[in-house]
Structure 1
Amino acid sequence: MAALYTGTVSRKPATSGSAPEDATSHHVKNHHGEVVKFKNPHPSAGETLSTFQIMRKMIWARITGKISAPDISNVDLPVISPTFLPSRSSSPRLRATWLGHACYYVEFPSGLRVLFDPVFEDRCSPVSWLGPKRYTPPPCNPADLPAVDAVVISHSHYDHLSHATVSEIARRHPEAQFFVGLGLAKWFTDSGISKVTELDWWEDAELTLQPLASKVSSSSGPGQIEARISCLPCQHSSGRTGRDKDHTLWASWGVSSGGKSVYFGGDTGYRAVSEVLDDEVDDYGVDSEHLPRNPGFAEIGKLRGPFDLGLLPIGAYKPRWMWSALHANPYDAVEIFRDTRCKRAMGIHWGTWVLTNEEIAEPPVLLKEALKRKGMPETGVFDVCAVGESREF
């Protein structure tokens, strides 16, 4: 049995030198000066489209034959039952287990246990009978996780935030602390989850865990555990209904504890590609060098890096003219990897639901091509793994 801990959180607003001068340029304020929405502040995000505009473009592209759904009839992505460390002090290394899509369970050598963007349901949808359905099953259930100290949520979209999943985690791990972007804490408290801390970009929180000695033997885990949780920029959007677009903040995250650090990219774009370019055109070619890149990732690398491990999105990117502003492809992911100064990385945001139009097995293939183009090893630096597989760093 994993040692039980209780945590306290101390929020640390951004200070001089820990954030860029334009740290709040993503805020949208009303005439009273109150923050009411959020925006992507850089030209790299391109034109901002409404949900209706995106859906209209998708429907028209399907009608005209410009896009087609990928074939999932012969999906051959391995799914294995995960194994977790037997105790909080079992390994001096960082251990990360992919649980599908953007969800990772990370065991820090300090004893800290962190769950990123957990969604265990079959569908990422407001309802259980409609919407994208898994073509690879979850490798385990929330009940199989030995301990959860922190749950980090990148944003409110259904493939990253599930009411059923977070409610089950809070029930099974009542001491778990949830970390979310600005505006999202109310959704959690309305859902009956009170241990939630919301942060703005460039803000940090200090998480201190103390063992519950009355519950387990002191020999089953380390003593006090310290961690820093950093809310960091990315380029995306938010919303769970047609009426709340961008009302809550999307974010990437940094987590450090016991001398090891993880950068979680969550869900993000890097540079918007023009509709003039189709998916057969190399949008990192000479003709596209002028496209602006999001400078936030280089700032993350400078102000919070380096990181021992990056969990970086590589899927849900076609057609590029529709999704590039919001979703990184493998070429973007390698640039983010370099900008944020990650030493190693694992690919996320693929292999689970059909959200866009690239073929199921394409992201890992393009990832190797992107690494090769940059003169980097095709394996051993930025990899993918089976669903349920663990890697140590």
Structure 2
Amino acid sequence: MRSFRRIIRRDLFNQSSSTSSLQHRAASASKASQRPSLTASVTASVSGSAILLAVPATMSNSYSTAVTKREFGVDPVPEEARSKPHHQKNKDGTISMFRNTHPSAGGPDFQEISPFLKKVFLASFSGALKGPNCENHKVVVQKPAFLPTRTSSSKLRATWLGHACYYVEYPSGLRVLFDPVFEDRCSPFTFMGPKRHTPRPCDIADIPVVDAVVISHSHYDHLSSPTVNELAKRHPEAHFFVGLGLEKWFRSSGIERVTELDWWETADMVLAPKAEGQDVKTPNESITARFSCLPAQHNSSRRPGDYNTTLWCSWGVSSSSPSAPEARSVFFGGDTGYRHVPKVPAVEADPKDDIYNPAADWEPPYDKLPVNPGFAQIGDFRGPFDLGLIPIGAYRPRYLFSHVHANPFDAVDIFRDTKCKAAMGIHWGTWTLTAEELDEPPQLLKLALKRRGLPETGLFDVCNIGESREF
């Protein structure tokens, strides 16, 4: 019993990062032959005018970073944001937990976890929550090719590393990782929980430079203790940006370079070239970046008793430099719902059934259901964005998950609300978290775009895991 308790304390509460890291490295070694490797000889390919190299992670980071939190209200915010309605407070005025405040989240009792768990529990035993067959999926994994220097491209470049993780290379030279999770399981345990159906396209050691790591919320498919600890070790200058309440978790893990923000708060980061250690891969100029913490419709938890005690967020990240003076911006949706829908027979039917209509919950009378107004506010107050990284997966059954997970039809409207010029779909193709097939989201995305009169390709796309796109 004592041994079991020690395992629970180690894995569930993530306090022994060194043990977890050893387990992760052992697991990585045993599976090395199953995934691409970037540590072999350099290979080159051409994309447009840029030479892309699959290089080992030896590019030096000759920058020092400084982060300054901007005073709330200096930047325009919605009037309702000033009163912080998403804060649930104790009698002494301290924050007890966070909450979703709009009807799109499923009603005022949404913050109570028990009704949701009861639905999932009963559905799993009644057969309503069936696991999909992922043996014949069509998700492709390829070896990523990162830029060899910070100034190799004048375009915004985004590489999908699976699920919600994207590595974004800004023309300013900034390098940002969003929601990195490199473990096989998105779980507090190494022996149980959702396991990857598609391998990692690379290892952390293969990523050349990381200046910032952005975390949307605390769920295990978005925040991994072994991953962030290894990133902090390999990239000691990297700064972590997290939602309110998560800074304490990072500091308890030994990570000190962390800034937590509330919705509509902003922080500026300046990367200044160091006096020594300059090389041909490092431009002799400062890089500036702005990180905006923005609303999302979701929840948070890592262990019993911490439900909604840390904030879930979307993010806006923009960056420029003297050689790339035009700021380029990315909206990162993380993990979010858009509206709450009831059980609609045509939506919940088997896709092989004639009754199946994945868009039925957007047809009358369901087209009048309330949507989260926060995304339109994001577009109005922080948009437009050059690129949106918007979740499209983990949505079936809709009546159970719509309030926390957007489906492709929701995602297209989030794309329009946030005023993104282009978008890539995230939060699919890696783990089976809900009942849809692993490769269903891209199929529905095309239907959703067509429904809104938008082109089915070239505007809001998906790509292979490990593939890069330029914008």
Distance 2:201 2:281 in 1: 30
Matched length = 393
Residue 268 of structure 1 corresponds to: 336
Partner of 2:63: 5
1:212-231 equivalences under 5 Å are: 212-217=274-279, 220-231=282-293
Identity of aligned residues (%): 60
> Which entry has the higher C-alpha Rg, 1 or 2?
2
* Counterpart residue number, 1:346: 424
Instruction: Map 1:301-312 onto structure 2 (within 5 A).
Output: 301-312=379-390
What residue identity is the alignment partner of 2:365? D
Q: 1:2-41 to 2 correspondence within 5 Å?
A: 2-15=60-73, 18-23=76-81, 24-41=84-101
Q: Which runs of 5+ in 1 are unaligned?
A: none
Q: 5 Å matches for 1:79-90?
A: 79-90=141-152
Correspondence for 2:364:
286
Task: Give structure 2 stretches of 5+ with no counterpart.
Answer: 1-58, 321-326, 349-355
Query: What is the match of residue 461 of structure 2?
Result: 383
CA distance change for structure 1 residues 247 and 121 in 2, over 3 Å: closer, same or farther?
same
Give a deviation string over 1:114-172, Cα, whole Å, max 9, x none.
00000000000001111000000110111111000000000000000000000000000
> For 1:54 and 1:35, how far apart are their aligned partners in 2?
23
1:43 aligns to 2:43 (yes or no): no
Structure with more of its chain in helix, by fraction: 2
- Mapping of 1:222-261 within 5 angstroms? 222-258=284-320, 259-261=327-329
User: Partner residue of 2:448?
Assistant: 370
Q: Hey, what does 1:173 align to over in structure 2?
A: 235
- Larger relative CO (CA 8 A, sep 6+): 1 or 2? 1
How big is the shift at 1:213? 3.7
- Tell me, yes or no, if the aligned pair for 2:240 and 2:258 is still in contact at 8 Å: yes
Cross-structure match for 1:201: 263
Q: CA RMSD for the aligned pairs?
A: 1.4
Quick check: 1:192 aligned with 2:259? no
Contact in 1 for aligned 2:100/2:111 (Cα 8 Å): no
Amino acid paired to 2:86:
H
For 1:88-127, what aligned pairs fall within 5 Å after superposition? 88-127=150-189
What is the TM-score of this pair, normalised by structure 2? 0.81
Inter-partner Cα distance in structure 1 for 2:191 and 2:315: 32
Letter paired with 1:7: T
CA pair 5-18 structure 1, distance change in 2 beyond 3 A: same
**1:183, 1:249 within 8 Å by CA — same for their partners in 2?**
yes
CA distance in 2, matches of 1:274, 1:81: 41
Contact 1:3 1:216 in 2 (8 A): no
Instruction: For residue 226 of structure 1, report the CA deviation from its aligned partner.
Output: 0.3
The one-letter amino acid of 1:220's match is T
Query: Could you tell me how far 1:3 is from its partner in structure 2?
Result: 3.9
**Residue type of the partner of 2:69?**
R
Question: Corresponding residue for 1:361?
Answer: 439
Deviations 1:185-237 (A, max 9, x none): 00000000000000000011000001224223266324100000000001000
TM-score normalised per structure 1: 0.97
